[in-house]
Amino acid sequence: MTSETSTPVVVRFAPSPTGYLHIGGARTALFNWLFARRQDGRFLLRIEDTDTARSSPEMTDNILTSLKWLGLDWDGEPVLQSANRPEHVRLCRDLLDRGLAYPCFCDPEEQRRRREEGPQAGMVYKYDRTCLSIPRDEAAARMKAGEPHAVRFRIPDGRTTLADRIRGDVTVEHAELDDFVILRSDGTPVYQVSVVADDHAMAITHVIRGDDHLSNTPKQILLYRAMNWPVPEFAHVPMILGPDKKRLSKRHGATSVGEYERQGVRPEALRNFLALLGWSPGDDREIMTLAEMTEAFSLASVSKKSAVFDETKLAWMNAQYLSRLTDEEWLKAAEPFLPVGAADAGGLKGWIPLMRPRVQKLSELTGASAYFFNDPEAYEPAAVAKHWPGPQAADILDGVRDCLKVADWNAAGLESAVRGLAEKRGVKAGALIHPVRVALTGSGSSPGLFEVMETLGAETVFRRMERAAAWIRSGAAV
């Protein structure tokens, strides 16, 4: 493999366990994984669980399970950020002792109010450095006396230029930044410190993450420099948007990896689809194995523009992967979406060949294939109105049933019998086929009717037709 870097690559995926693994997070994990494997590097996992009020073991388990389902393995054991909190606090105190940070005795609620009111007044909130002017000996005495205080990092003069591997050079004037809090008044460190400390401890060489973190990066670079640590390379991936070009969210439908698994999307299909959201292998390929994606992946090929999540494209891609499964593999994948025992109901010879071409997500089987295993509980109103327009529909069903009793019970024999009856009555075959379809499936659409009849068997077909005819004669269709 050729390499994008001369140093051993170490990347990380660092989700917060405050929710299920989001599609955007999954793509970030995938890009990190592909980059690491392409460079013969390491892909590490860190769970940023310092938000104790919102984090939960359940969400952590979900993240790990979803990554495994996607086929994204990690190196070593996952790191829990909360375990490193004492070291994060020590670093804040070290910056304070070296004069690179200072205590802030301002009322946190007052600062919060100013921060919230700033945008309403057309202003960007920026701390006014009130506490920076307090003499150090006075500040030390107030801290020693136990006066509540936060610790703020002192932004130096100058500017910071970030050489982003995706976006190019991004320059930020330090005058635009405020002296941000690194240690809260309750003694807990903030995200900026924790992420820098942990990335350094884990020897991260490249930070690949969503561009919603871009505003954090100049502050983090300043912390690296203040600690005299090497600064990793950064690559900020544009956000995933919904069809309305707004950030992908629940209003657009499913957003978590687990939801797509429950819809019957194959992991390899979702992985392939996510890889192409903002990245291209440089040719027209769309269906790629993980090995092929790894071989082709490059940060230079990641787009600077946001990608749009296209459910239709995902469904198409999933269908491509489903089509590559053997009947045995397809049946095993479909089993969770079928009634108990349905997988043993003559699937390989009967209903699987009929349903395979008709589903793009396996969850579609739950409703679409139900009639193969159980009599219809109801009849689709639109189909009833169109194909059972009156009591004569019951007579049609009786006539077809009678002609089928002497037919060869295979698709060709059944079709010959029904078409022969239609010709004898001087009607189009559809006038008989559609009413029967509703009787057998409860719906106006299905795979080929005669193949369905062959699969269901004569006993089931006759029972359902008699039941439907009785239903029609009862006046229920009126």
**Residues with catalytic annotation?**
250
Q: What is the DSSP letter of 212?
A: G
Amino acid 473 reads: R
Q: What is the DSSP letter of 309?
A: P
- For the chain, give the longest Cα–Cα distance: 109
H-helix or E-strand containing 196?
A: helix 191-201
H-helix or E-strand containing 168?
A: strand 168-173
Query: Reduced to 3 states, what is the DSSP secondary structure of residue 149?
Result: coil
| Integer Cα distance of 80 and 91 in angstroms | 18
* Beta bridge partner(s), residue 42: 10
Amino acid 299 reads: L
Q: What is the DSSP letter of 18?
A: T
406 in the Ramachandran plot: left (φ > 0), alpha (ψ -120 to 50) or beta? Answer: alpha
* Beta bridge partner(s), residue 236: 209
Handedness of CA 172, 173, 178, 183 (dihedral sign): positive
Find out whether 462 and 400 touch, Cβ atoms under 8 Å: no
Query: Reduced to 3 states, what is the DSSP secondary structure of residue 151?
Result: strand
Quickly list H helices, 374-429.
Answer: 381-387, 392-404, 411-425
Residue found by looking up tokens 């045995």 in the block? 328
Phi, psi of 91 (to 5 degrees): -65, -40
| Integer Cα distance of 182 and 89 in angstroms | 9
| Integer Cα distance of 396 and 254 in angstroms | 44
The contacts of residue 3 (CB under 8 Å, 6+ apart) are 9, 39, 40
